[in-house]
Chain A
Amino acid sequence: MNLKIALFGIAKEIVGQSVLEVNAPNDQPVQQLLEQLRAQYPALGQLSSLAVAVNNEYATDTQLLHERDEIALIPPVAGG
């Protein structure tokens, strides 16, 4: 399946684009996507934290991803 991942803040700068298209096996868990992205972009692995959001909610490591999901990579937030 083809996943479109929205990128923000420092993650957008590291990858160099605001949306990343990733080819992944069906029902890929969040943890595997993170491992794949950290391998491809080692600077992502140096961040204080890196979460995945699915449909505007923080996802757990074992949550399965689907092609229609709205997926985003969430580097450390700093609002306020």
Chain B
Amino acid sequence: MITIDLTDQPIDVPAALQLVQADGAGAVNTFIGTVRNKSTGRPVVRLEYEAYDSMALHQLRKVATQAQELWPMLENVVVVHRKGTLQIGDVAVIVAVSTPHRAESFAACQYIIDTLKQVVTIWKKEFYEDGDVWVAAHP
């Protein structure tokens, strides 16, 4: 089962872990992305995520489906991404997968977060004490 969500509320990590659990799974692998207090040495005070919701949800589901094709033993996939204003330490994204054995859980989890970063239509603006920058916008 694939569960995808995009929310402007704090991400409920225990709920995601409960959703990913499967009786046939001996492994649950989780990636949690959090807001860091600096970026290339510059102190960050907060982040803002903006999403093209319909496409982001569609692309997230596609990435999860691709992972299931690559690792057919995947039991459940849960991906939840936050949007709006986030403070230091807040959870920005959770990717959780369950598989019968651990090796595939690491690989599938990494594939999903790496591909998410490349294709999912979410934008991040970092705010510093003296300005702000859209991350990755310029070479």
A binds B: yes
A79→B58 contact, CB < 8 A: no
Query: Size range of the interface on A?
Result: 20 to 34
Task: Specify which chain A residues have a CB less than 8 angstroms from the CB of B119 in the assembled complex.
Answer: 58, 77
Q: How far is the CB of A4 from chain B (nearest CB, A)?
A: 14
A53 and B121 form a contact (CB under 8 A): yes
Q: Is the CB of A79 within 8 A of B137?
A: no
Does A42 count as interface, using CB distance less than 8 angstroms? no
Beyond A56-B55, A79-B81, A79-B124, whether A48 also contacts B136 by CB under 8 A is yes
Smallest CB–CB gap between B123 and chain A, Å? Answer: 3
A74 CB to nearest B CB, Å: 6
Instruction: Report whether A77 and B93 are in contact in the complex, using a CB–CB cutoff of 8 Å.
Output: no
Q: Which residues of B contact A (CB under 8 A)?
A: 33, 49-52, 54-56, 58-59, 81, 92-93, 113, 116-125, 134-139
10 extra interchain contacts, Cβ-Cβ under 8 A, other than A75-B137, A78-B134, A79-B56?
Answer: A8-B50, A53-B52, A56-B54, A74-B52, A76-B134, A77-B118, A78-B117, A79-B120, A80-B81, A80-B93
Chain A residues at the B interface, C-beta cutoff of 8 Å: 6, 8-10, 13, 46-48, 53, 56-58, 70, 72, 74-80
